[in-house]
A and B are shown apart, each in its own frame.
Chain A
Amino acid sequence: MNRVAAEAAVFARSTYLQYVALFQWATVRGYVAYKILLPVTQILFFVELGVYAAGRQNALYFALGNALQLTANAGIFGVIATVANERQFGTLPILLGSPANRLVTFLSRAIVNVIDGIATVVVGLLVTVVLFGLDLHHGNLPLLGLCVIVMSLTTAGLGLMFGSIGLVTRDAIIIANIVYYVLLIVCGINFPVSRLPGAVQLISYSLPLTRGVQAAREAAEGASLQQVAGLLGGEVLVGLVWAFGGYLLFRVLESYARRGGLQEAY
């Protein structure tokens, strides 16, 4: 038991240290700017755009969708930036030349972004409640919380996949931007997935967030766990596939980087 506790303490310390080391938002000012002001402006922008296009009665749809999409902010940007920043700081060769277990290292880097994602969504939901009158009195709050946790995990899974590419390219942040905006378009954030062309809907349902956002919207209206279990189960499955694929890709690209000596290119 002591050994488990010691291992957990080391894991927690590593997770904390790499978070402070790698992210510019790991300060009070940085956090307020990146994790509060930036997300709030995104919500305001899309709500205003949505109200202009679809009327004031739909404001809540846009506000809730964009608040939930903030899970991707941490899951995608956070995880992808982890590898990109290691490369930028010149610490990637040290990491890859160490005997550290890759799975543990990977999990340590993902988990902090999951926690970060949950915190960001809470901020987004508070903004939605205060500014747009989201009424959660009849909502299933525990279930909504579960949906947020699940989406934070699944988007981090997607982040692992694209973060791996950072092992062999210096332009991982561009990839993060593309993935983030694709999610914004195809995952039912600002308009229902059913409005998208059939082929694009296939992409929607192969990505995290789509089912999670749908489940969360229903939870906000009071749905029970049984009613959204299928959606949440699907969301978890999709996230696991991306995370597992991300881990495999990391190992493959680590080997590829070893062949080409690409760890130091920045």
Chain B
Amino acid sequence: MESAAIEARALRKTYVTTRGVLRRTRVERIALRGVDLAIRRGELFGLLGPNGAGKTTMVKIFTTLLLPSSGSAAILGLDAVKDPWAIRKRIGFVFGGERGLYWRLSGLDNLRYFADLYRIPPQISRRRIAELLDRLGLAGRERDKVEHYSRGMKQRLHLARGLLNDPEVLFLDEPTIGLDPVGARELRLIVRELADTGTTIFLTTHYMFEADAICDRIAVIKNGSIVAEGTPSSIKGVVENQGVVEFEVVGMPADRLVGLRGLPGVSSVVVSEHDLAQVVTVQCARPADVMTQLGMVLGGLTLSKVSSREPTLEDAYVQLIGESL
């Protein structure tokens, strides 16, 4: 039987740091709490979770940059602890953000340099770099210094760098972070195309719609544990038989929020800032009942744009994470 492209068994990671100057105290922070995961070859798998949930830690372990505290991680059947060198030749990885490139070099020289690091023969790297520049829309700007690139171009250059060695497995850690909507959509299309050509992709993100749009399967991680795993539609099942009530309000007092959360059938209330107003999203079993009780709980406040709708994947995510944004 063919081994999984990526596999984790009871994977744990605890970071140990110290605090204090004279009296140093040892501080332990658990990043992963026994994660089990198996990703098939050719799959585009999304790992979702809030900041600090353990997404990057997992990517670092899979890319051999970090050792787990216990448990095992395997890439293409190779142990990430014992066989890092064999794994490194067969994977690519891209971290989000603008760092990780040499800004004083041109995009072309960045790719040449990284191709040399991966010991790709010059005749192959020349062809591959030209293909990647073309595919990622950087052709024509390849001789410009990276410091003159837009954020979107830098991110595409990151991706080109990650694809230089034609990896069987590609790890993308929040690749669209900080990109404008058009740039992010372009990158998502490229990632989907890559997966369609057979590359296994492990994508971390905290944008639910991103995972919904391109991933074959997703997992949601919270405080170092996987709390849900499946296809986007199966994850949506978490909020099956539920509805969402949304409205805008200015200056939502905390005690009113408590009252809202206490209404029968309400499973979560999320408040997000929108200009000067707050958008309140209430997940509940009976939206019509909640709408009739809004006036009672929020009396005296001016509500606008009150609406009821079907839950989305993002609602499912919020339900799973169980946090107030």
The interface of chain A, by Cβ under 8 A from chain B, is: 6, 9-10, 13-14, 17-18, 20-22, 26, 89-91, 93-100, 105, 258-261, 263
Contacts and interface: CB of A to CB of B under 8 A. Distances in A.
A94 B105 contact: no
Contact of B105 (A9, A20, A105): A20
Nearest to A256: B67
A10 B120 CA distance: 10
A9 B112 CA distance: 12
A258 B60 CA distance: 9
Contacts of B109: 17, 20-21
Interface stretch (B87-95, B210-218, B227-235, B299-307): B87-95
When A and B form their complex, which 6 residue pairs have the shortest distance between CB atoms, in order from nearest?
A90-B99, A21-B102, A99-B88, A90-B100, A100-B117, A17-B113
A14 B65 contact: no
A266 to B, nearest CB: 8
Contacts of B161: 94
Contact of B100 (A9, A21, A94): A94
Interface of B: 15-16, 57, 60, 63-67, 85, 88-89, 93, 95, 97, 99-105, 109, 112-114, 116-119, 121-122, 161
A20 B146 CA distance: 13
Given A21-B105, A263-B65, A6 B122 contact: yes
Given A14-B116, A17-B102, A99-B89, 9 more contacts: A6-B122, A89-B99, A91-B102, A98-B88, A100-B118, A258-B64, A261-B60, A261-B65, A261-B66
Contacts, number: 85
A26 B85 CA distance: 32
Nearest to B171: A97
B122 A261 contact: no
A99 B100 contact: no
A259 B95 CA distance: 19
B66 A258 contact: yes
B109 to A, nearest CB: 6
A91 B101 contact: yes
26 contacts: A10-B122, A13-B112, A13-B113, A14-B116, A17-B105, A18-B113, A20-B104, A20-B109, A21-B104, A26-B104, A89-B102, A89-B103, A90-B95, A90-B97, A90-B100, A94-B161, A96-B65, A97-B88, A98-B118, A99-B85, A99-B88, A105-B117, A258-B64, A258-B65, A259-B66, A261-B15
Contacts of B117: 14, 94-95, 98, 100, 105
Contacts of A6: 121-122
A98 to B, nearest CB: 5
Contacts of B97: 90
A94 B114 contact: yes
A99 B57 contact: no
Contact of A93 (B57, B65, B105, B118): B65
A10 B16 CA distance: 40
Contacts of B60: 93, 261
A98 B119 CA distance: 10
A258 B67 contact: yes
Contacts of A20: 104-105, 109
A22 B102 contact: yes
A93 B109 CA distance: 19
A99 B57 CA distance: 20
B100 A93 contact: yes
Nearest to A90: B99
Contacts of A17: 102, 105, 109, 112-113, 116
A30 B16 CA distance: 41
